[in-house]
Amino acid sequence: MAKIVDREAMQNSLLNAATEVYIEKGYHSATIADVAEGAGVAKGTLYLYFKNKESIAVAIVDRHFERLQANLMTQSNPETLEEMMDRLRNSTTIPDDATRLIRLFYEMFGPSLDGDPVVTKLGEFFEQLGLNYEAQIGYLQSKKLVHSDIDPAHFGRALASVVDGLILHRGLFSLPKQRFAKIREQALNMVHRGLVPA
């Protein structure tokens, strides 16, 4: 009787293994054979799920951005400015394993970021994040909880840039958690002061 394999679970397992191999050996040095060995499967099995090393890298990035989207983009508007700030604080708490992935991302795609499809995906993600923040700010503005002179569209995209910068700082520069927490608080305090009604 043929063994039944949960395709999604297997794909996730392969991506987890590939991520570890790419982090340990370096993306450009690692081979498909290294990934297969790290996953404990034959190369042929790996090719059933991914056509090459690059398709594995793209799948790692896709999965990462799905998780970021779930973490950063809320489905409901906050009822208070403090609730919005708490959400921002929680969504910019970057675990150590995520920082490793950020460094890997830049190793994988850094040399080819100009015009790469991954850059298009990044741009779309941060555009959506900016629109998400725009909706939240506009909603709080309608409740007179945010300064009336603020342009929600521009402030929302600026806020997406701040969040992006915080995530990159934590990942690329290996900032200790305590130092990063202080930097994050200063950044969020600036955002709060810019939003609060005069």
Q: Write out pLDDT tens, residues 130-188.
A: 999 999 999 999 999 999 999 999 999 999 999 989 988 888 887 888 999 999 999 99
How far apart (Å, rounded) are the C-alpha atoms in residues 129 and 145? 21
The tokens for 166 are 């915080």
What domains lie within the chain, and their CATH numbers?
A: 1-51 (1.10.10.60), 57-195 (1.10.357)
What's the pLDDT band for 1 if we cut at 50, 70, 90? very low
CA distance 138 to 115: 33
CA distance from start to end of the chain: 72
**Amino acid, single-letter form, for residue 175:** L
